[in-house]
Amino acid sequence: MKIHILYNFQNKPWGGGNQFLKALKNELERQGLYEAEPGKADIILFNSHHNSNEVFAAKKKYNGKVFIHRIDGPLYLTRGSNKELDKIIYAFNGLVADGTIFQSQWCREKNKESFGVATRYEAVIHNAPDGNIFNRQKKDFNPAKVRLVASSWSSNARKGFEVYKYLDDHLDFSKYEMTFVGNSPLAFNNITCIKPVHSKQLAEILQGHDMYITASQNDPCSNSLIEALSCGLPAVALRDGGHPELVLGGGELFSSTQDLIEKIEKVAHNYFGYQSRITSPSIQIVARRYYEFARHIYHEVANNSYVPKRADIRATLRFYTIKLMMVRAQITQKLFGL
């Protein structure tokens, strides 16, 4: 059984979904489980709202194949926008998806709570980075000058920039130094800013720091946080979204700026204890979980226990309704910024 990922990969600094799917594709190829041609694959994996035309065209062309939908969000929570794009995602899920993979338990619960999304086959599988790039390197730790780092490709306000600005104004920079990598809408006086870089450069920057800070809100499964944990950095993360599922014993959670610096100091004072408790799944394990989930559905089809959804005339009409929803959402975004 082979899997094809129907997605337009970007070979430049891009969002977390792109980085994870690239790592997943590379690992499936390494394990001999990937098929480059969708027509020869047994399973088609597609992501969120991306490539909807290509996905539905593939569903029509390859009726009988199993289609699995990877979902994050809900986007109205992660981006602070209206629910139109989420409604499109879930309408498309109901139309095409035979199985759904949620990126975290928080993601699954919020999607069901807000939209009632459901397929017969579902799984929660966290993301993982490319272990050849994001991995632990032995380094010295100087408690007299602890090096903090945060990162975000997105400049959306919900990525935590007001919290980073608070640290810029209140952190004791005689004891700490801090770097931000990515696109920040705010200027900092004490935090060093680095524009988005490719994964290898980002990994080198992470490996040169001691502790990761993230204040992103409603983040279902932060790729940035996972990359930092995989590099051996204990984390101080906002108690929100999927962060608690990822940090576990490998760091501390804060609730507001009132306890943020206290949590940073707590991790710094027991640095190696927190570092020893970091648990981040490898891309090898995550790829296998994707494969086992897909194989289960594939066997259900082979045993005539399940019939994959088909792109018949009725489904085609529903797809055009979804496309009209997309056009309306795009016009609303352009006119009102919602």
Q: Give percent above pLDDT 90 in the chain.
A: 73
**pLDDT at residue 259 is higher than 70:** yes
pLDDT band (50, 70, 90) for residue 63: confident
Banded model confidence at residue 88, pLDDT cuts 50, 70, 90: confident
Confidence (pLDDT) at 123: 98
| pLDDT at residue 234 in the model | 98
pLDDT at residue number 315: 82
Q: Does pLDDT of 101 surpass 70? A: yes
pLDDT tens figures, 287-328: 999 999 999 999 999 999 999 999 888 888 888 788 787 777
What distances in angstroms separate CA 162 from CA 88, 237, 262, one per listed residue? 31, 14, 18
CB 129 within 8 A of CB 20: yes
CATH number at 3-128+283-336: 3.40.50.2000
What pLDDT, on the 0 to 100 scale, is given for residue 333? 59
* Confidence band for 53, pLDDT divided at 50, 70 and 90: confident
Residue 6 token pair: 């129907």
Amino acid symbol at 228: A
Phi/psi-derived region of residue 264, left when phi > 0, alpha when psi is between -120 and 50, beta in every other case = alpha
Q: Model confidence over 206-253: pLDDT tens digits?
A: 999 999 999 999 999 999 999 999 999 999 999 999 999 999 999 999
- The more confident residue out of 273 and 9 is 273
Query: What is the band of 330 on the pLDDT scale with cuts at 50, 70, 90?
Result: low
Residues of the chain with CATH 3.40.50.2000: 3-128+283-336, 146-276
- Is it true that domain 146-276 has CATH number 3.40.50.150? no
Q: Given this model, what pLDDT does residue 326 score?
A: 74
More confident residue, 91 or 171: 171
Sequence letter at residue 200: K
Tell me the two tokens of residue 41: 């694959």
Angstrom distance (rounded) from CA 98 to CA 33:
19
Q: Given a cut of 60, is residue 336 above it in pLDDT?
A: no
pLDDT in the model for residue 332: 63
Q: Region 31-55: what's the mean pLDDT?
A: 93
Indicate the range of 77-81, 188-192, 302-306 predicted with least confidence: 77-81
State pLDDT tens for residues 134-177. Answer: 999 877 899 999 999 999 988 988 899 999 999 999 999 999 99
Sign of the torsion formed by the C-alpha atoms of 221, 16, 159 and 149: positive
* pTM over 0.85, yes/no: yes
pLDDT for the residue 2:
97
d(CA 194, CA 281): 28
Q: Specify the residue for token string 């990994």.
A: 203
Average pLDDT along the chain:
92
